[in-house]
């Protein structure tokens, strides 16, 4: 079994300081959150950019400033930028960050209701557009799947040679409008993957730690962070992203699973070693 890759989703596009004061907005806050998460055991930072007032943005210059500042403190960290952005953003707006040629980015693999009137739109042509752009720029993609149909979409695009090896997935479970995060849901998605795939699990809210334990047990990897869950335990706000990472590291230790370094993470995911 491979060592455990921990990804920390430090900010997201929806959660605000009103929900948890530890959510980072400014560049300095993003750097501190990333650095603390790294020292707690995270080898990948899943990054949504924010303006200083918390407004989500896909502006590549803002991303550039954040990434450069994080790498100044933690040069070996893997930064995985979001191409999901926020609900309502255009494909062009969401993909602008890819022009920075980041090491890694998310590839959303289907449309989803996000509650109320919000719809997160990812048509087949949108998915092809993002995948082909990432292929051209040699960006490693993590395929975000909120339900089984999204995995089936990736299989169609694999047959068309749009999505290329190595295949790395992220199950995002517990989102309103998507699959719940029960054990049966996890097992269904895990057993539906193409042979040879790696995967990570992001449990939203109450599902974060129960799904993390399943992923650890079955050889998968884990994403945690204030984007997905603001509590360290029921009713108790997490004091930082690092607190959530530390809890995963503790669960991993209880299950005799070692934590992957950034170099080991790149090897497991079939990425090139980064010169720092």
pLDDT one-digit tens code per residue, 191-206: 999 999 999 999 999 9
The answer to whether position 137 is within a domain reads yes
Whether residue 276 is predicted with pLDDT greater than 70 in this model: the reply is: no
DSSP letter string, the chain: -PPBPEEEE---SS--TTT-TT---SHHHHHHHHHHHHHHT-SEEEE-EE-TTS-EE--HHHHHHHHHHHHHH-TTPEEEE-S--STT--HHHHHGGGGG--SEEEEE-S-EE-STT-EE---HHHHHHHHHHHHHHT-EEEEEESSHHHHHHHHHHHHTTSS-SSPEEEEEES-TTS----HHHHHHHHTTSPTT-EEEEEE-GGGHHHHHHHHHHHT-EEEESTTT--EEETTEE-S-HHHHHHHHHHHHHHTT-PBP-HHHHHHHHTPPPPP-
The answer to whether position 260 is within a domain reads yes
The answer to whether position 1 is within a domain reads no
The mean pLDDT value for 23-42 works out to 98
Give me the domain span that covers residue 104.
6-269
**How many structural domains is the chain composed of?**
1
The mean pLDDT value for 179-195 works out to 97
Whether residue 101 is predicted with pLDDT greater than 80 in this model: the reply is: yes
- The pLDDT tens digits of the residues spanning 105-152 come to 999 999 999 888 989 999 999 999 999 999 999 999 999 999 999 999
What is the pTM for the complete model shown?
0.96
Q: Which of 17-21, 84-88, 135-139, 181-185 has the lowest mean pLDDT?
A: 84-88
The answer to whether position 276 is within a domain reads no
CATH number for the domain spanning 220: value is: 3.20.20.70
The answer to whether position 149 is within a domain reads yes
The answer to whether position 275 is within a domain reads no
């Amino acid at each position: 079994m491979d060592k455990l890759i921990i990804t920390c989703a430090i900010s997201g596009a929806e959660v605000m300081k009103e929900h948890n004061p530890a959510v980072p907005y400014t560049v300095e806050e993003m750097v501190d959150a990333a650095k603390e998460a790294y020292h707690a055991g995270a080898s990948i930072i899943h990054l949504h950019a924010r303006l200083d007032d918390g407004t989500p943005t896909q502006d590549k210059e803002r991303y550039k400033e954040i990434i450069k500042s994080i790498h100044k403190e933690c040069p070996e960290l893997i930064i995985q930028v979001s191409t999901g952005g926020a609900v309502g953003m255009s494909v062009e707006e969401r993909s602008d960050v890819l022009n920075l040629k980041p090491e890694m980015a998310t590839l959303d693999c289907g449309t989803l209701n996000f509650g109320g009137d919000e719809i997160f739109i990812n048509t087949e042509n949108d998915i092809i557009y993002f995948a082909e752009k990432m292929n051209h720029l040699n960006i490693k993609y993590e395929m975000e799947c909120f339900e089984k149909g999204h995995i089936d979409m990736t299989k169609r695009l694999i047959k068309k040679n749009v999505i290329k090896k190595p295949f790395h997935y992220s199950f995002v479970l517990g989102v309103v409008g998507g699959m719940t995060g029960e054990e049966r849901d996890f097992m269904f998605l895990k057993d539906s993957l193409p042979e040879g795939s790696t995967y990570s699990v992001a449990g939203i809210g109450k599902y974060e730690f129960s799904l993390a334990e399943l992923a650890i047990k079955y050889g998968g990897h884990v994403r945690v962070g204030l984007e997905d869950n603001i509590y360290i335990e029921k009713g108790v706000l997490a004091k930082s992203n690092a607190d959530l990472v530390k809890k995963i590291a503790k669960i991993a230790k209880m299950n005799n699973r070692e934590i992957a370094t950034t170099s080991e993470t790149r090897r497991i995911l079939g990425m090139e070693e980064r010169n720092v």
